[in-house]
Amino acid sequence: MAYSEKVIDHYENPRNVGSLDKNDPQVATGMVGAPACGDVMKLQLKISDDGIIEDAKFKTYGCGSAIASSSLVTEWVKGKSIDEAAEIKNTAIAEELALPPVKIHCSILAEDAIKAAIEDYRTKNND
Amino acid sequence: MNYFQLFGLANQFDIDLANLSTIYQTLQKQAHPDRFAHASSQEQLIAVQKSTEINDAYQTLKSPLLRAQYMLTLRGVDMPSEQASFGDVSFLMRQMELRELLAEIKFANDTDAAIFEASVVFETEFEQLFNQLQVQLTDNTTESNAQACDNVRKLKFYQKLQVELDKLEDALLDD
């Protein structure tokens, strides 16, 4: 199956790969997995006191589309408020990367990773 | 008629695979479309459909994970879609560690030993979940079926790890 140029670009030069300090109270972690293909995705967001995403890092074990989806998402969320980030839809990710139908679940995984990270942030900060 | 009935087997998780294969061959012979070469086109069509059904049933019953999933479907358990994300954080953390273990293998001094060690870890953890699954399916309560459903999804991650390990082993052999 042919990958789109954008997928290949993100796959070959992934943005924001790595980890943030998970013990930092400003850092939220979202972990999601896809049983169908065994992909595992970790997305970490560093969120300022006024709810703005200052930094994002990811680590994904999976196919090119899963890596590209998470890489793209780290670029998109930076500078956004958590409410804005929560609005990011998998369809937008799939469209940007021109994902074929069999790879749509990779974009769903990336959307769910954002949601899981925000959920983690809210749990951490909801004393 | 469900797949177990089609094969004349009890609806249970433990299956004798040799017996399954014998029944499959017998059923396939009976339904083989060649036997219906001189029959009406409708009978031929039925034979082809029957043959396909026997084949589907065999593939499903032969694979423990597909069999488990099929049993849960028969019990009316709502399996999450294949596309639905899995969110058990501690399980996924462990998966990340195992993926890292896998990624480290090619840097090991003794790659054969590292592959062997990884396969032992994967198999041990797979077995543990698989044994739980057996008990959960036998218990057959609402709660145990929900847990079985969860375990089937977890086991798929271990299947993937094994596939990746096999790929790595092949790649290292080629070098």
Least CB–CB distance from A36: residue in B82, B88, B91: B82
pLDDT in tens, B114-169: 999 999 999 999 999 999 999 999 999 999 999 999 999 999 999 999 999 999 99
Same domain, residue pair B32 and B93 = no
Same domain, residue pair B51 and B122 = no
Same domain, residue pair B49 and B94 = no
Domain that holds residue B142: 89-174
* Residue B157 near chain A (CB below 8 Å): yes
- Smallest CA-to-CA distance from B88 within B149, B19, B4, B165 is with B149
Contact B56, B1 (CB under 8 A): no
Same domain, residue pair B169 and B126 = yes
Same domain, residue pair B103 and B146 = yes
Same domain, residue pair B32 and B98 = no
- Smallest CA-to-CA distance from A114 within A63, A58, A67 is with A58
Under 8 Å CB-to-CB from A34, ≥6 apart: which residues?
A62, A66, A105, A106, A109, B83, B85, B86
Contacts with B85 from chain A: Cβ below 8 Å: 32-34, 108-109, 112
Here the CATH number for the domain that contains residue B54 is 1.10.287.110
Interchain contact, B82 vs A116, CB within 8 Å: no
Q: Which of A37, A52, A92, A104 is catalytic?
A: A37
A63 catalytic per annotation: no
Contact B122, B130 (CB under 8 A): no
Same domain, residue pair B49 and B105 = no
- Smallest CA-to-CA distance from B99 within B174, B158, B171, B169 is with B158
Total domains, chain B:
2
Contacts with B163 from chain A: Cβ below 8 Å: 38
pLDDT tier for residue A1 given thresholds of 50, 70 and 90: low
Structural domain contains residue B76: no
Structural domain contains residue B19: yes
pLDDT in tens, B16-31: 999 999 999 999 998 8
Domains and CATH numbers, chain A: 5-125 (3.90.1010.10)
Here the CATH number for the domain that contains residue B126 is 1.20.1280.20
- Return d(Cα A37, Cα A109) in angstroms, integer: 11
Interchain contact, A108 vs B83, CB within 8 Å: yes
pLDDT in tens, B61-74: 999 999 999 999 99
Interchain contact, B92 vs A33, CB within 8 Å: yes
Same domain, residue pair B94 and B154 = yes
Look up the ipTM and state it: 0.85
Under 8 Å CB-to-CB from A18, ≥6 apart: which residues?
A57, A58, A59
pTM here is: 0.86
